[in-house]
Structure 1
Amino acid sequence: MTHAHDAHEAPDLDVFFTAEFWDERYGSKERIWSGNPNPHLVTTAAELAPGTALDVGCGEGADAVWLADRGWRVTGVDVSAVALGRAAIAAEAAGVADRTTWLREDLLAWAPEPAGFDLVSAQFMQTPEPLRTALHRRLAAAVRPGGTLLIVGHHFSDLETTVGRPHMPELMFTAEQAAAALDPAAWEIHTTTPSREVTDPDGRPVVVHDAVLRAVRR
């Protein structure tokens, strides 16, 4: 839902988190995202046995479809009906419609089923405090014992690069800040800040850094 990619002007935060903003954003192009699964999700899921997964801010469904194609039963949630419509079409085309469920929800208020999922993934859900910590706590509560929480976001250092993102430092966070929403006694917590190469709006290679929290509920 609230991915901060590819926007050159910082939108008003009161508008940024609305269904209207994201329906218009998705409706402005035939496709917004690449259609490829997020790399940190691929790495994490490769080490897990398929089960039930929650894809938070699923957008056009690339992550959810990728998981479903590997045997997961996936619930994708987003605020945009336009994005969810595309996700459902992608799932049908991939032959995994029977393993995917799509929900339109306001993720700043919605609470998923407690202890309902083996994997909860939130990729680049960029929200300011205190909304961020509240969201992360709700997502953590949805993880079953033995399950995995994966939160990936844009690191503050990306503000120094030119990758077409809005200059909105209040939306950036570190993996350690994301981990602050968890009780260390209840979780095995791993935080990293890996780098990767992307292409800026002028076609030049740029190195960016991700904030990656991977935690397993004890």
Structure 2
Amino acid sequence: MNRFGSQLQWQFVLLQKNSIITISFVVTLMYGLVLYFLRDIGSLDKLLVALVLNDPSVIGYFFIALAIYIEMKHQILQAIFVTPFNLHHLFLSKVISVSLIGMVCSLGLAFSVKGFDFNIAWYAIGSLSICILSSLLGLYMLTFSNEFLKFAMTSIPVFLAFVNLPLLQHLGVFEMGVVKYIFPIQGSLDLIDYSVSGTAINFGFAIASIVLFIPLFYWLAYRRFLRKIVHQ
């Protein structure tokens, strides 16, 4: 546990050195200021949910990949791979550090609109789950490209399907019926919607979705990362 704690602390240091924490907070601050000045024009719950889906998921998906590419460029990962390290510790510390940053940013967005008038606990669980799933998907997808620009280009359709199809369904652009429940972030989206709007949801499904998809994404990303990055 001490080794994992040290690894987690080191990941925060790396994220700060690479300016990823600063960029995340600056972007969230910009969104938050817009929401704050618009808060009196009417209900912003739909807009808040849309930003919460996109801001933390971008932090999780793209920023964890950016961090990996930077470390590969500077030979940091290659140096780690030749030491007796625990890949699970490395993997989990990267996912958790980026996801916690995304969750904090998403809470900042909610506070800018709702103050304390929302269910903070369920909101935090929903946004953290989205960040974790996005991070794991990012770790999986980065194994198909050797540089960040190629990763970003090839990731566009995947990311749009992962985040924006459930979002468009939520905004009422189209109706997918029960098909929406196959999307990995639907349970997290339901928790966030309930937290800010009080929308009736199926808590059993929401929790089961999170409990099912996070280990599945972890297993897929871990195996792919081990084969294509560590043992390349």
Query: TM-score band, normalised by the shorter chain?
Result: under 0.3
In proportion to residue count, which structure has more strand? 1
TM-score by length of structure 2 reads: 0.26
In proportion to residue count, which structure has more helix? 2
Larger radius of gyration: 2
